[in-house]
Amino acid sequence: MASSSSSASLALDISLHVKYIQNLDKKQDLAYHLTSHLRLNGIYWGLTALCIMGQPSALDREGVIEYTLSCWDDEMGTFGPHPGHDGHILATLSAIQIMVIQQALDRVDVERVTKFLHGLINPDGSVSGDKWGESDTRFSYILLQSLALLGKLDTFTSEIRENITENIRGCMNFDGGFGTDPGAESHSGQVWVCTAALSILDREDLIDKDLLGAWLSERQLPNGGLNGRPEKLEDVCYSWWCAASLSIIGRLHWIDRDKLINFILGAQDLEDGGIADRPGDWVDVFHTLFGVAGLSLLGYPGLQDIDPVYCMPADLIASLGLRKSYVTLPRLSSYPAPS
């Protein structure tokens, strides 16, 4: 359970969080088996968190690769979240991210995955998650990031590209935010996928950056944490969704850095490792990633840079020629910073 100690005196316990991630697969209790539909996502979350903390080799590389390959759904021509599960766009992106980080993309059938992804694009520019047809702006972003990482972003026509762009623009609201589909309420998670998708498409010009920046900065509550929409509780994961969006639009300095850092640090479990959604709650690998990723964007010392568009190591994305324009805060030499 996350510590309830004063965050003002806390530091990020990197070695403890690395150990927590390494031990995740060893505690195969009921909760472990009930979350098999998130297994491949969980490996991506843990692996990326380790990269941010400077420990990219803390997991067995070949074991990670073999498990990822075992999630292949040959009927669908893509990846499912766990062996025997149906292929889905969510698991597909996690598999691609894992294989790119592990420099093993050559072991993936890129052409079949590309074909699967193309088959999810609807005539109106929306994107489905699988053959059952549910669409969501999350899937639009996942499609674009997946194709970019595969080097296949240029494989659809200009008309399809414009349809996808217009569908995302149609999800923009009067407050500058974005929803799951046209007319849906603005939500910080959807804001990130839409701003990042437009960044990949080189269409950031469609974003009202000042209006959106104001809406995002209003998500910060008096305790320093950020929420997903008005009148909701703060949650560590929004340290990523909000901060990464602000980074993409160049408005990250519009929130209180130190208060957010202290909120994230206060959500650590300083006995067993990991980060929770808020202080006093149980930890999980999802919030552990987005906690350390948020800290990286905020310039917390001792962490590696994270790319706010891809949520992957910044140096890796740059080496692939995929870096887009964004602004992070300078890396601090210590925290709290000397006054």
By C-alpha distance, which of 280, 281, 310, 279 is closest to 293?
310
Pairing mode of beta strands 78-79, 283-284: unpaired
By C-alpha distance, which of 160, 159, 198 is closest to 176?
198
Distance, CA of 163 to CA of 140 (rounded, Å): 11
Distance, CA of 217 to CA of 242 (rounded, Å): 8
The dihedral sign for the CA sequence 324, 238, 193, 107: positive
Mean pLDDT of 264-277: 98
Number of H helices, E strands in the chain: 14, 6
Domains and CATH numbers, the chain: 14-320 (1.50.10.20)
**47 residue type, one letter:** L
Q: 6-15, 70-79, 166-175, 266-275: lowest mean pLDDT where?
A: 6-15
Q: 88-97, 132-141, 170-179, 287-296: lowest mean pLDDT where?
A: 132-141
pTM above 0.75, yes or no: yes
Question: Is the backbone peptide bond immediately before 336 cis, with ω within 30 degrees of 0?
Answer: yes
**Who contacts 17 (Cβ-Cβ below 8 Å, separation ≥6)?**
49, 53, 268, 273, 274, 275, 288, 292
The mean predicted confidence, pLDDT, of the chain is: 95
For 59-116, the pLDDT digits (tens) are: 999 999 999 999 999 999 999 999 999 999 999 999 999 999 999 999 999 999 999 9
Q: What is the pLDDT of residue 29?
A: 78
**Who contacts 88 (Cβ-Cβ below 8 Å, separation ≥6)?**
78, 79, 80, 81, 129, 130
Please give the C-alpha separations between residue 112 and each of 129, 160, 211, 219, in angstroms, as whole numbers.
16, 19, 41, 41
Distance, CA of 191 to CA of 161 (rounded, Å): 19
Q: What is the DSSP letter of 257?
A: H
Q: How confident is the model at residue 24 (pLDDT cuts 50, 70, 90)?
A: very high
Q: What is the pLDDT of residue 278?
A: 97
Let me know the angle formed at the C-alpha of 274 by 216 and 244, rounded to the nearest 5 degrees: 20
Distance, CA of 68 to CA of 48 (rounded, Å): 15
Total Cβ atoms within 10 A of residue 220: 21
Q: What is the pLDDT of residue 36?
A: 85
Ranges assigned E (strand) in 33-156: 72-73, 78-79
Distance, CA of 70 to CA of 181 (rounded, Å): 33
